[in-house]
Every structure is written in structure tokens, then in C-alpha cells.
Structure 1
Amino acid sequence: MKKLLIALAALTFAGSAYAQDTSFASADLDQSGDLTFSEVIAVLPNVTEEAFAAADADGNGVLSEAEYTVLLESSGG
């Protein structure tokens, strides 16, 4: 019984860590049509402020869907 509970716990935690939706729509928590740094790191925690700024082609402090796509592709996500 103990082994079964351990196996179930492992599957539960592995499943939640395995698949995370990194789509623009999922990242845009406030549905504003652009992404802040906070929204980006919620789905891509390894993105640095420097990488975010580099992806922000127009320098407006947020990422459009096109800018996010470039960041996503460059980060391997």
C-alpha cells in the first residue's frame, strides 16, 4: 500500500511539472494583448530581464505576440 501511495504521489507531481502551456494566450493573464515581464516569467521562469528587453523590439516595455514568439523560439520553449 505504501508503494502505491508513493507511486501515485510521484505521478501527480511529475504530471504537473511535465506539461506547461507556454502559449501567448495562456501567458497573457490580464488579457491585455501584450505580456509584461512578470507574465513571461510565470510561464518561462528562466527568461532574464536582459532577454526580455532584447525581445522587446519596439522598446515599449511589454511583448507583443510576435515579440513573444521570437523570445519563445530563442529560449527553446
Structure 2
Amino acid sequence: MKRLFIALAALAFTGAAVAQGASFADIDADQSGDLTYAEVTAIAPEVTMEAFSAADADRNGSLSEAEFAVLAGSGG
């Protein structure tokens, strides 16, 4: 798992855009079906809590795949 994060972190990110090859399932380290702030920032450390919270449309403290797509498309 640690190798996966290192590989993902090494990929170039523009804002919070998902790097090619990094799927939602790859980022979802605990396979919960949602992304926590820690999971997102493990691969995109430039994402702020403010941007994460703005993308969390249902305010449940994590991002669904659709919410993450909005964050990734916004440039974080």
C-alpha cells in the first residue's frame, strides 16, 4: 500500500486533477467507497481543507466519487 501512495504522489498533479492511471479506487486506501481528506491529500497535498469541504456537497466529511470528480475538475 505504501508503494501505491509513493507512486501516486510521484505523478504530476495540476491543481487537484487526477493523474492518469490513478483511479478513485486506487486513492480510496481503505476501500470505503468515499475519500477522506487524508486519502486525498496523500496523493494531492496541495488540496486545502477549504477546497475539500466545498466539494463535500452532502457535508458528510468525505467525498463520493462524483464529489471528487468535481474537486479534481476545479483545480483544487
1:1-77 residue pairs with structure 2 within 5 A?
17-18=10-11, 21-75=21-75
Return structure 1 stretches of 4+ with deviation > 2 angstroms: 16-23
Shift of 1:44: 1.1
With over 3 angstroms needed to count, the CA separation of the structure-2 counterparts of 1:52 and 1:18, relative to structure 1, is closer
* Higher-RCO chain (CA-CA 8 Å, sequence separation at least 6): 2
Higher share in helix: 1
TM score, norm. by length of structure 1: 0.70
Q: Percent identity?
A: 62
With over 3 angstroms needed to count, the CA separation of the structure-2 counterparts of 1:17 and 1:66, relative to structure 1, is same
Deviations along 1:17-60, one digit per CA (max 9) or x if unpaired, are: 34554421111000000000000001111000000000000000
1:48 counterpart letter in structure 2: T
Asked whether the equivalents of residues 22 and 43 of structure 1 are also in contact (C-alpha less than 8 Å), the reply is no
Residue in structure 1 matched with residue 5 of structure 2 by the alignment: none
**Greater Rg, structure 1 or structure 2?**
1
Q: Distance in 2 between matches of 1:47 and 1:35?
A: 13
TM score, norm. by length of structure 2: 0.71
Q: Distance in 2 between matches of 1:61 and 1:22?
A: 22
How many residues are aligned here?
Answer: 61
Report the RMSD for the aligned CA atoms in angstroms: 2.0
Extract unaligned runs of 5+ from structure 1: 1-15
